[in-house]
Structure 1
């Protein structure tokens, strides 16, 4: 039997019956947490079905655990981190053991210090670390009831934490009426009505009349096993009414019936008592002193309010608590509007403006019967405070309400633009559109109108890259020039980036580039963004040779992190990072992508990180670091799970293609082309066809490789469409299509010839050799090998050895052919390029050499999961457990737990041995290993 007891109005103690299966789930959860395993559970069901009773049972059973409890409050849903603060406030003394950046994040979001707005995923990591730290000495049980009323910031953070808990002695349990978006996918326990036998027993325990069996059957059927309904529906009925069935409520929805039961009881109370109930319903914190101060403002004394008792609906203790959330909602919704406004005004007047300005502002807004500039200004200030704590949803709510209370059209337009922008950044595109429409309608100046247009452009981009976004951004940039040149430049660069990813015909990219060339140079020393703008504009309008000096200068500027801020990087860094690829500088490419990804990762900008990881993943593949690329794939997958956002599969596509995993790669390629084509993501289509060309060249299926590569070059894109040209040249020469090969070579020469780098010249020499004969071909192959040997691009070097060896064999120079083919074969095996390795092996066999087929260099990590491989690579590179945890949004204890499994699977006993089973590439470096198992 459940140990939850209820007090009836007759003073009898009641028990909630049954729930054996549910209690077993909760008992197992406690057992696992006490054994050092994290557990997460979402307990959900309709109002009054017994969720809170089960959570009380859970608390009562967790005698060996430290207990933290919080509850969502409907009227606090717009206050950022309100629920999280309830949960974590008792633990803030443990922050001294956390990394300093995480301490700063927690103190910022809880209003203990001023700081820049932290990303919610950094907040999530800090809370994860805090819970992990708090569970060191004693297992920890965290219960969040009424989770459907959590503020959005708290819900996002706790949803994040729930998905990252693994090896901590922490149980995190939510009680909610329905699955919220942020909690979807968590392990669930659905609470339904009591079985008939238990429902009959409960009804018997609260009724004093012998019920007609038909009446009883109707009550049980209408209650549908809902315990609160069985406890409450009989109240207010006489024994005669109940026994005869004459007073049964009409068949409304069950919560409505229960609320109606509460309302009947409330209506019988004195006016002062009803007013006290309304104050308690409107006051979200449950602070008794605050409730009584507000009551005093309204002339309500304890003697008046408590004379007739509260009928068990409200109790005063350390906190003011209602018998059930439906009591709160029944009280608040049934009160006249004038009474609600009076209560909110009283609460605002007794709320400390210095200690709690945001709740005070929200009460003032709820009290306002008409537009009020003073209150609107208060809400605007609250929005700024919310933004400084990373509460974007709260900031949006404050600004939206501020707009509604503003009379002056100019001020309303200003606030509407801010509300639209905050709503956009909070992910509420529908609200963003509504408020940008208001801003456009009310704007009194061109600057305000163009700011509204800019927000509308960003909404279009956020809704999915499509052909509408580039011209909208271009128009916004041009209109911004007379008002804010810095913002105009940023917008031009975003328009250029959007055009480069989307526009199939190139017209949009040309239009943006031509407009960028007319932008006047900035005064003084040009900044990185100025150089990137100028270089990209020249690249499209005048060609690579004309753009190279400026692009090289931009590349040097971007290599200096002090030249721009992390905020700049988050705004336009994804566009600027491609400069190093345009100038064919492989070392700058690797350094730029690695540094950009690290900065974005450190900022906790998980929604922006995937685009940086995609670039870093491609650079890892170009250098042959397949383990690093697999780690990036795992990290991207983790982000997709945690942040609940779709992730482009570019790195996975190319990895499987380079590895020669035909079935998996072909499925991914087809799926990506289908998805990206429907969504207007032309970059996805281009990358998928590039991957297909690489795959089929490795397999020796040259006609398919040529067809896929040709498709990639038909899109006006400036990076992949160039990198795929060598695939066309190789495939076309193999099928005898010299004309297609020469066309591709001409395009490659135009892109690579102006760039005097080993990457550019080595690639060009290798491709020219394919279309050349005799001594000249031999010289070109040797030049390609020499130049590519000075780069970080091991796969390209291995392919140069393969092509030279194949040419030498056809030239009947078998001895020298064996040398290069053996070199190629060994490199392909070491890198993990199975299809190309098999192609080299067949060529070696054709020279008469006996070759034993070797497994590619993936065996060491075959037993590891993607996340384990990612952790192994990071530890191999010298990161400590806390650093790995910070990068992967895991607690150090979870990292340690994974490491123990990794050591077992790889048959090693220390971190240093990871370098033996996961050797560093020729050009890779690692930091010194730190003390093991920190």
Structure 2
């Protein structure tokens, strides 16, 4: 590497340099840019970041480097990155400002949710670009604490209209949270460039044959090449007479640094270890700790002269690998001594978490006093960094605890916290420790339940080695039984979780397993006749429905869901506990069994609202999908798509292998593109078979039937629907029955259609709701003779027009129009078909719109091209922002609700105004939004 003035020239990095220049070009032009540099240690990522900073004239630059020893301290990396920008803190909305204050230890309060912190950081970056574009550089991202990395990944995915660049450098393995962001792979240099760089690094002459061997062994790794003069002896380089290592791995590079450090005086090595163990680089803390060690700071001079470290207001190693080498070069006793000095030098009032952490690393074996201190620190850490921070302290506390009983309890608490913070690997390890301890009965039951809960989540995510979905119910049932006499409420929750697991297993689970589980749970009901809580009534209703058939449990389910709606609106904070995996599927299925879209609307709206308000990391994606289901029923496919996309973007920042979004299949089927739909359906079917998720397999059959009925491919629709209806998937079984009746009526499978109608009558007939009664009448009409069909279609539309379920209403208009055409009432047919065509077109249900258009042509109607309605030209997110603006929300309120910056809201609204030909927000309120 040669230097020319301020700019650096890097050999063989033409493509990488061009990519980095595009970064600065983008933000200078007012748009954001995100890039992740990936490569092995020493390949030149840090040099490329230095080059990027050198190109940053006129840009404001903030930076942070991950430090391996600091990975457990929540928000440590984020705090360092944001520290230079905190003068803009007052520009943030109060909830965001408070979240950052608590996360960074500047204030006190309840632990901030990570997405609220993420939104606050996004707003902080946006506020900092008023004067000049902002460049955020993150080196060694794989060593950032997980909460900081997830927050930065969240922010990076939401940069749109801000002149902000985020450039990460990470090892080939690690920093998985950044997966999916734009990525540039950094490889070793070509042989020619490697030879040039090696020649420049050599002080003397190197034998050409040896040079070629060094180039080959280093695989073009620039740092290994630059370290060659120190790595190889003069004899080796002069003629190859000494033994050369067979590898040029990053470990060898680090070993060369270790040898350089070991050659320094003992006092110098101690100070280097001190600087390496204190990742913030705080010189004042460094000096206090050095004084406690009795080492004069002048002892650092040899390291400065050797180009290892730079002493200033911040301690800075010249390369991240030197820091790692300084720490690893020391023996364990020296590390403990250094951490003890840092613990003593750290102010317990201003930074209690870091003080406790250094104390934990200073002890050998177990230490109950330090373990107790860590346990106390866990609650403080949670108030700052959330559950992930608490989990790390609890984990370390468990390791340091000598008493077996107490160690088991702490390990269980740590395992639960690790699970909640999405660190399943650590959670499993800690749970194993807890299970081996002599736990009290309640904690033993909690451990059984926790293992089953984690296995359920792993199975739905398709993790390697995870059990099939239905197999996880056994542990949940065991925990429920154990807790019946100890914790009744937790017992019922565990029973409901078991029901959910068995519902997901569906047709791929053990036959009768769900009924058997409900029969077992029924004994818990006999213990008390007083069921005052909504969840108790719900528990009874689910058991009665599962064991008693289609008409059973209706009263208790309706009362329970009404009570849940009232509770959600009166005490919104209580509903977050419903975001565990069991409740959404059970609530939604129960509301569908009751044919009550209003309950789905009220509950899903309340849960999404509360999840957004709290920034609930784990629960918001499923809350959004829950809400998307309501919009599918209302025929608002664009809104449903937007919600699912938002859920996917959140999951990408936390759990890249999240479960299949059920409604994405249904939406694609309604859209009517057979290639896109079947690609998604086939992939979901394979996933379902692999993890034993029979409910998903049933849903793929239902989606296939919807798709083929829309395409008028009735034989294929009938085959798919008949297969779905072989098993009763609560929640959408009745929908599959409708698809079967529609297809069967077109191909003359009247016996099968009649059996399906009898099942619909049994279910919808007991509902008493406009949706249920309308669905029942429309199904009967499809098989009725001409004398009764007209009356049944009219009755169906009378009911459905009092509901908001547009998809069934549109399908009934279509079926009525088809029947009217067959009986040669062309004028009446034309009227209903035109209504259906307009509804399907507005929904974006292309196949059903085309099926309707063919019927219109058959009755002699000239099908007019539908005019573009307000909002149809908009993207899904533009339409969502426009609706919120039309409702009177400010840009800041819209940004907070959608987890995007105010700049992005403004950017989208400018595009909305241009597309709609309007000039003000007031004009938005005059438009009618169909979705």
TM surpasses 0.5: yes
Matched, 1:615 2:622: no
1:172 matched residue in structure 2: 166
**Paired position in structure 1 for 2:557:** 551
Q: After TM superposition, give the deviation of residue 476 of structure 1 in Å.
A: 0.9
Q: Distance in 2 between matches of 1:423 and 1:821?
A: 56
Task: Trace 1:91-110 onto structure 2 (pairs within 5 A).
Answer: 91-110=85-104
Q: Is 1:333 aligned to 2:328, yes or no?
A: yes
Q: Indicate which of 548, 554, 557 corresponds to 1:542.
A: 548
Change (3 A) 1:464 1:194: closer
- The equivalent residue for 1:758 is 770
Which residue does 2:539 correspond to in 1?
Answer: 533
- The 1:121–1:523 alpha-carbon spacing in structure 2 relative to 1, beyond 3 Å, is farther
1:515 corresponds in structure 2 to 520
Question: CA 1:673–1:870 in structure 2 vs 1: closer, same or farther (change >3 Å)?
Answer: farther
| Residue 60 (str. 1) matches residue 54 (str. 2) | yes
1:929 paired residue number: none
- Which of the numbers 349, 361, 364 marks the counterpart of 1:366? 361
2:471 counterpart (468, 472, 478): 468
Secondary structure at 1:503's aligned position in 2? helix
d(CA) in 1 for partners of 2:408 and 2:592? Answer: 43
Contact map agreement 2:224 2:248 (CA 8 A) in 1? no
Structural mapping, 1:148-547, within 5 Å: 148-178=142-172, 180-193=175-188, 208-235=203-230, 250-302=245-297, 306=301, 311-465=306-460, 466-504=469-507, 507-520=512-525, 526-547=532-553
- Cross-structure match for 1:628: 639
Q: Does 1:579 align with 2:595?
A: no
Give the Å deviation of 1:191: 4.1
Query: Does the CA contact (< 8 Å) of 2:579 and 2:622 recur in 1?
Result: no
What is the deviation of 1:131?
0.6
Partner of 1:673: 685
Residue 29 of structure 2 is matched in structure 1 by: 35
Following the alignment from structure 1 to structure 2, what is the Cα–Cα distance between the partners of residues 85 and 679? 40
Match of 2:714 among 702, 705, 725: 702
Could you say what secondary structure the match of 2:168 adopts?
strand
Task: Tell me which residue corresponds to 1:76.
Answer: 70
- Are 2:908 and 1:898 equivalent residues in the alignment? yes
Judged with a 3 Å threshold, the aligned counterparts in structure 2 of structure 1 residues 718 and 322 are, in CA distance, closer, same or farther, namely: same
**Residues 699 and 836, structure 1, Cα contact 8 Å, conserved in 2:** yes
Matches of 1:349 and 1:788 in 2, distance apart?
Answer: 72
- Mapped to 1, the partners of 2:8 and 2:683 lie a distance apart of 58
CA-to-aligned-CA distance 1:255-287 (integer Å, 9 cap, x gap):
344334334433333322222222222222222
Range moving further from structure 2, 412-421 or 833-842: 833-842
CA distance in 2, matches of 1:335, 1:605: 42
Residue 563 (structure 1) shift:
4.5
1:223–1:230 Cα contact (<8 Å) kept? yes
Deviates more, 1:874-883 or 1:591-600: 874-883
**CA-CA distance at 1:432 after TM superposition:** 2.1
Q: Deviations over 1:411-465 (max 9, x none)?
A: 1110111222222223333322222222111133222211110110111111124
Q: Could you say if the C-alpha distance between residues 663 and 326 of structure 1 is closer, same or farther in structure 2, counting changes exceeding 3 Å?
A: closer
Once the two structures are TM-superposed, the CA of residue 362 in structure 1 deviates from its matched residue by: 1.9
Confirm whether residue 126 of structure 1 aligns to residue 120 of structure 2: yes
- Indicate how the Cα distance of structure 1 residues 35 and 786 shifts in structure 2: closer, same or farther if over 3 A, else same: same
Q: What is residue 928 of structure 2 aligned with on the other side?
A: 919
Deviates more, 1:167-176 or 1:246-255: 246-255
**1:906 positional shift:** 4.8
Aligned to 1:10: none
State how far apart, in whole Å, the 2-side matches of 1:833 and 1:651 are: 15
Residue 408 of structure 1, CA deviation: 1.0
Identify if the C-alpha distance between structure 1 residues 586 and 242 changes in structure 2 by more than 3 Å, giving closer, same or farther: closer
Name 1:569's counterpart in structure 2. Answer: 578
Structure 2: how far apart are the matches of 1:595 and 1:650?
21
Provide closer, same or farther for how the CA distance between residues 525 and 670 of structure 1 changes in structure 2, counting only shifts above 3 A: closer
Could you say if the C-alpha distance between residues 298 and 787 of structure 1 is closer, same or farther in structure 2, counting changes exceeding 3 Å? same
CA displacement at 1:372 relative to structure 2: 0.8
Work out whether residues 410 and 442 of structure 1, in 8 Å CA contact, stay in contact via their aligned partners in 2.
Answer: yes
Distance 1:54 1:628, change over 3 A: closer
**Residues 846-865 of structure 1: pairs in structure 2 closer than 5 A:** 846=858, 849-855=859-865, 864-865=874-875
Structure 2 match to 1:882: 892
TM-score by length of 1: 0.90
Shift of 1:76: 0.3
Rounded to whole Å, the distance in 1 between the matches of 2:257 and 2:43 is 16
Partner of 1:931: none
Match of 1:588 among 576, 592, 599: 599
- Mean CA deviation greater in 475-484 or 207-216: 207-216
CA separation in 2, counterparts of 1:857 and 1:472?
A: 57
TM superposition shift of 1:835: 3.5
Distance 1:634 1:858, change over 3 A: farther
Q: Deviations over 1:10-56 (max 9, x none)?
A: xxx99976755544433332222122111122234443444333323
Question: How many Å apart are 1:62 and its aligned residue?
Answer: 1.3
**CA deviation string 1:352-402 (max 9, x = no partner):** 222222222222222211111111122223333333334444433333322
Q: Secondary structure at the match of 2:436?
A: helix
Deviation of 1:652 after TM superposition, in Å, equals 3.3
Cα displacement string for residues 765-803 of structure 1 (whole angstroms, at most 9, x for unaligned residues): 222233433544433222212111111123322333333
Over 3 Å counting, the alpha-carbon distance change for 1:388 and 1:464 in structure 2 is farther
CA distance in 2, matches of 1:705, 1:546: 30
Deviation digits for residues 839-859 of structure 1 (CA, Å, limit 9, x no counterpart): 44444455xx43122446777
Counting matched residue pairs gives 913
Name the CA shift for 1:905/1:678 in 2 (closer, same or farther; >3 Å): farther
Distance in structure 1 (CA, Å) of the matches to 2:543 and 2:303 = 79
**Aligned partners of 1:5 and 1:49: how far apart in 2?**
24
Contact 1:500 1:716 in 2 (8 A): no
Unpaired stretches in structure 2, ≥5 consecutive residues: 461-468
- Rounded to whole Å, the distance in 2 between the matches of 1:483 and 1:4 is 74
Decide whether aligned partners of structure 1 residues 793 and 183 sit closer, same or farther in structure 2, where only a CA change above 3 A counts. Answer: closer
**TM-score, with structure 2 as normaliser:** 0.90
State how far apart, in whole Å, the 1-side matches of 2:652 and 2:443 are: 38
Q: What's the RMSD between the two structures over aligned residues?
A: 3.3
Give the superposition deviation at 1:97.
Answer: 1.9
1:703-718 equivalences in 2 (<5 Å)? 703-718=715-730
Task: Name the SS of the counterpart of 2:180 in structure 1.
Answer: coil
Distance 1:645 1:126, change over 3 A: farther
CA distance in 2, matches of 1:645, 1:885: 27
Query: Could you say if the C-alpha distance between residues 586 and 262 of structure 1 is closer, same or farther in structure 2, counting changes exceeding 3 Å?
Result: closer
- Between the aligned partners of 1:142 and 1:56, the Cα distance in structure 2 is 12
Contact 1:129/1:891 (CA < 8 Å) preserved in 2?
yes
Assess if the C-alpha contact under 8 Å between 1:236 and 1:264 holds in 2. Answer: no
5+ unaligned residues in a row in structure 1: which ranges? 7-12, 925-934
> Deviation per CA, 1:723-764, whole angstroms, max 9, x where unpaired?
222222233233333322222122112212222111111211
Q: Please, which moves more after superposition, 36-45 or 154-163?
A: 36-45
- Aligned mates of 1:839, 1:59 — CA distance in 2: 59
CA contact (8 A) 1:409 1:443 kept: yes
Deviates more, 1:447-456 or 1:885-894: 885-894
Q: Distance in 2 between matches of 1:702 and 1:401?
A: 62
- 1:598 lines up with 2:601 in the alignment: no
Q: CA deviation at 1:503?
A: 2.7
Name the residue aligned to 1:927: none
Deviation at 1:585, TM superposition (A): 1.8
Q: Is the 8 A contact 2:856 2:863 kept in 1?
A: no
- 2:649 match: 638
